Amino acid sequence: MIIVIMFLKKKNIISLIQKGSAAAKGEIMNVIHSIVFLQNWGTSVPLVKFIQNNQHAVSAFHIMGKHSYLLDANFDSKSQMENWINTVKSITLSSGIPAVIAMESQKIIEALKTKSDFGLEQYLSMKEKNHFFMKIDNPHGDARLISILYANSIMVSILHVQGACSFICEVIADEYEKYKMLLKEIKLIESVHHIETQEVVMVLKYRNKIIDESGALVLPENDIRELYTL
């Protein structure tokens, strides 16, 4: 199993707080935040059940591509994060084989663009739209790339990250052609080394809300964390 865990830069966390019953300012400054990618095999039932009811996985997307799931997760301490990793590693299929075969996480340096007034209801109502996450590797010369990404209306979330790539971006487009045009524009930037696009199959959880077995929109009883970047 591959494990790569990185953290959110402390000075940026304050701008990412959803107002409400948030922790005291001193506690918030110590929050460890990361985007986590999980790759599984076999039935996804035990893993999905864990994600939907786990307080550290604030949002979860089932995606196509190299990974199976993308999570927006946060922790109060390194020991808490270590326990969470061990718990994920311990999830098994009925045969006893580990459900998760790879895990990767990237430190969020800065959230350059985020969605406002957006919830799980909005995701569920956009079935006809094209929904992707893009991993863009741009080792230097970020200004031009950021300008292009930020100005494009289909780019709804832009995270500057550290690790396997430079940026993780969320795209929601009415027409696939708009995404193709954006992709062509990004490819013209000489500093961009690699682009990886992962299409969203389903939004399993968003900002703590899930759809229960009856089809109702609910907030899991044990899931009360309010920090997010997506």
- The pLDDT, as a whole number, for residue 222 is 54
pLDDT-derived band at 218 (thresholds 50, 70, 90) equals low
**Hey, what are 158's tokens?**
């832009």
Alpha-helix runs per DSSP H in the chain: 10-13, 25-28, 45-53, 78-90, 120-124, 142-151, 176-187
Nearest-angstrom CA–CA distance, 171 and 192: 18
Q: Which residues pair with 30 in a beta bridge?
A: none
Q: What is the pTM of this model?
A: 0.83
Q: In the CATH scheme, what architecture does the domain 3-107+202-218 have? A: 2-Layer Sandwich (3.30)
Distances from the Cα of 193 to the Cα of 81, 119, 139, angstroms: 31, 33, 8
pLDDT of residue 98: 93
Structure tokens of 216? 């109702």
Q: What is the mean pLDDT of residues 31-46?
A: 88
| Contact between residue 115 and residue 142 where contact means Cβ atoms under 8 Å apart | no
Can you give the residue ranges of every domain in the chain? 3-107+202-218, 112-201
For residue 13, which of 116, 156, 111, 150 has the smallest C-alpha distance? 111
Query: What's the pLDDT score for residue 28?
Result: 45
Which CATH code fits 112-201? Answer: 3.30.70.920
Which pLDDT belongs to residue 34?
Answer: 86
Question: Considering only 1-10, 40-49, 100-109, 140-149, which range has the smallest mean pLDDT?
Answer: 1-10
State yes or no: pLDDT of 26 exceeds 60.
no
